[in-house]
Structure 1
Amino acid sequence: MSYPRTFTDQMGFQVTLPHLPQRIVSLVPSQTELLFDLGLGNRIVGVTKFCTHPQEQVKQKPVVGGTKNFHFEAIEKLRPDLIIGNKEENYKEGIQQLQQQYPVWMSDIFTIEDALQMIQQLGEITATKAKAAALISSIRTCFAALAPASPAVSTAYFIWRKPYMAVGDNNIIDHMLHRCGFSNCFAHLSRYPEITAEHLQQAHPTLILLSSEPYPFREKHIAEFKEMCPQAVVKVVDGEMFSWYGSRLLQAPAYLQKVINEVQQELTN
């Protein structure tokens, strides 16, 4: 494989690499986990403070700030030859500053297919194509077996509290809800709308899902949503399984099927 090589990322940027990347900084938690699962642990030199998986390995890596607050001096000291980011999770100004100095490969994910394309492209850029292809095949097989709720269940999915923020359209969580047979009652709103108690009552969802991230919803929060919508089934769910688009997609279908089955059982009781 001859270098330099030029790749086009998911935002359409041209990324030229002078050699096979050996010093990778990942600015996206789910993609950090993916890089480890592709066998690239020894080539990862920096991660964000939100990169939590795989737990033991990420603890040993230098932290370069948050996903929306990069520590540029820390990154410079690491001398990266590839930085991996994401349009939604990172901030535009920070990415633009990094692009002036380093090769930065950006993902832009709305669907599972987008995520699989990202895995395939990172496999190419890091020379781990075989592992990436095997992972993609396994994820496809697992999602093909997912049996969605039928009939579809009117659902509100919350990611934040004070103010309440739900999931609208055009994002990976909305896509995952659709795959589960959970009809997003705020899909007519853009991205992550702020929702009042009155909005929620008017939407009259059958199911309310409270995500464990980015706001750490817990069982104690169920009562306040039950008060607003006594008719709804309210559940706390693992936000990583609905929103992480790296190798965690391999674990997601089994978890999502469990949630679907529990919801259907509660609705028939």
Structure 2
Amino acid sequence: MKRLRKWFIPALVILYLTGCSGTSQVTTPQPETNQGTQQAAESAGETERKTVYPLTITDATGNEITFEKAPERIVSTSPAETEILFALGLGENVVGVSDYDDYPAEALAKPKVGGVTSPNEEAILEQSPDLVIGGISMERPVAQKLQSLGLPVYITHPSSLDEIMQNILTVGIITDRQQQAEDVVAQMKADIKRVSDALQDIQADDQKKVYIEFAPGWTVGKGEYMDELIALAKGINIAGDTEGWNQISEEKVLLEDPDVILYADGVTDMTTGKSLDEIILNRSGWDKITAIQQSQVFGLDQNILSRPGPRITQGLIEVAKAVYPDRVK
């Protein structure tokens, strides 16, 4: 399998992950904040935690941003980050989104600032934002150009559920929505516990082999949150011996003979127009795979599966239901 790290994912694959959204394999640093914010975050005497400004944050690229106050005009160039902002109750503060942002429904009415890899700089500037937030989909030169224009650009690259939840908490600190962020993360942790409790007695020898295809010809190995979803759902990722996003080897999938095949529902090949399930079911020799013979091929909501935001643990529940339908209701 050919593997690719974050900054080298082809644009076509990024579109699948960002029309869905996009993350990959650069470790997200724990955000560095100023002492005042930390003291505020740790204060047990307040019913609702408040951020102390000025606030300095270091994003996943190592870029340091200082906020003098809570951002009031926010542009999001990533569907996942848009979902985070709305989940924190910041919908009215969102003044621009990417062309792919479709959740929640209110995001559809927001001004569009272009694509996810190279958003329109002029469209962003027209909104006079005091925060531009994006994920792996934003190309580095674009981020650097926006930074050179004096815009505070915060880039995220979460590769695990812990990093996704930490990212939500960090956005909560930046925007002075700490309590809302903690409430969102608490629900996500409850989702994880629900799956863990339901599957806790499954032994290693009884775990099912799982193959996941999120875009035509592409799967995922260790070091990414999709692989973690499979592991938390007590599945064995047949691509788990690789790292990052990988072009599949059809022969390897045949050899591994997965018990369950998962795919991103609604995805179509941009060249042939064929749906992803049609592609999977009609590959040469794949009719011999156990998952196909036993009708254990399941499409999962592409956005929930691919967006590293508040709904990713709903994706975990859906993965667990597909792998062990008798245990996770």
TM-score range, shorter chain: 0.7 to 0.9
The gaps in structure 2 that reach 5 residues or longer are 1-50, 270-274
Cα pair distance change 1:182/1:215, threshold 3 Å: farther
Which secondary structure does the structure 1 equivalent of 2:181 belong to?
helix
The whole-number CA distance in structure 1 between the counterparts of 2:226 and 2:210 is 12
Match in the other structure for 2:212 = 157
Shift of 1:45: 0.6
Cα pair distance change 1:153/1:19, threshold 3 Å: same
Note the 1:100-249 alignment, pairs <5 A.
Answer: 100-101=148-149, 102-146=151-195, 147-148=198-199, 151-161=206-216, 164-212=217-265, 215=268, 217=275, 219-225=277-283, 227-230=285-288, 231-232=290-291, 233-249=296-312
Cα pair distance change 1:264/1:9, threshold 3 Å: same
Shift of 1:82: 0.3
- Normalized against structure 2, the TM-score is what? 0.72
Shift of 1:43: 0.6
Contact 2:87–2:184 (Cα < 8 Å) also in 1: no
The whole-number CA distance in structure 2 between the counterparts of 1:215 and 1:175 is 25
Match in the other structure for 2:40 = none
Which secondary structure does the structure 1 equivalent of 2:282 belong to?
helix
Shift of 1:253: 4.5
Note the 1:65-80 alignment, pairs <5 A.
Answer: 65-80=114-129
Cα pair distance change 1:11/1:100, threshold 3 Å: same
Match in the other structure for 1:84 = 133
The whole-number CA distance in structure 2 between the counterparts of 1:229 and 1:186 is 19
The gaps in structure 1 that reach 5 residues or longer are none
- How many correspondences in the alignment? 261
Q: Which deviates further from its counterpart, 143-152 or 179-188?
A: 143-152
Contact 2:208–2:323 (Cα < 8 Å) also in 1: no
Which secondary structure does the structure 1 equivalent of 2:129 belong to?
coil
The whole-number CA distance in structure 2 between the counterparts of 1:131 and 1:201 is 46
Which secondary structure does the structure 1 equivalent of 2:323 belong to?
helix
Shift of 1:115: 0.9
Matched, 1:53 2:70: no
Contact 1:201–1:229 (Cα < 8 Å) also in 2: no
Shift of 1:10: 3.5
Shift of 1:262: 3.0
Contact 1:110–1:175 (Cα < 8 Å) also in 2: no
Shift of 1:179: 0.9
Cα pair distance change 1:235/1:226, threshold 3 Å: farther
Cα pair distance change 1:131/1:140, threshold 3 Å: same
The whole-number CA distance in structure 2 between the counterparts of 1:155 and 1:177 is 7
The whole-number CA distance in structure 2 between the counterparts of 1:122 and 1:11 is 16
Shift of 1:264: 7.8
Match in the other structure for 1:28 = 78
Contact 2:130–2:152 (Cα < 8 Å) also in 1: yes
Q: Which deviates further from its counterpart, 133-142 or 239-248?
A: 239-248
Matched, 1:62 2:111: yes
Which secondary structure does the structure 2 equivalent of 1:70 belong to?
coil
The whole-number CA distance in structure 1 between the counterparts of 2:127 and 2:189 is 36
The whole-number CA distance in structure 2 between the counterparts of 1:120 and 1:190 is 27
Shift of 1:51: 1.0
Larger relative contact order (C-alpha < 8 A, sep ≥ 6)? 2
Contact 1:23–1:81 (Cα < 8 Å) also in 2: yes
The whole-number CA distance in structure 2 between the counterparts of 1:45 and 1:116 is 24
Which secondary structure does the structure 1 equivalent of 2:138 belong to?
coil
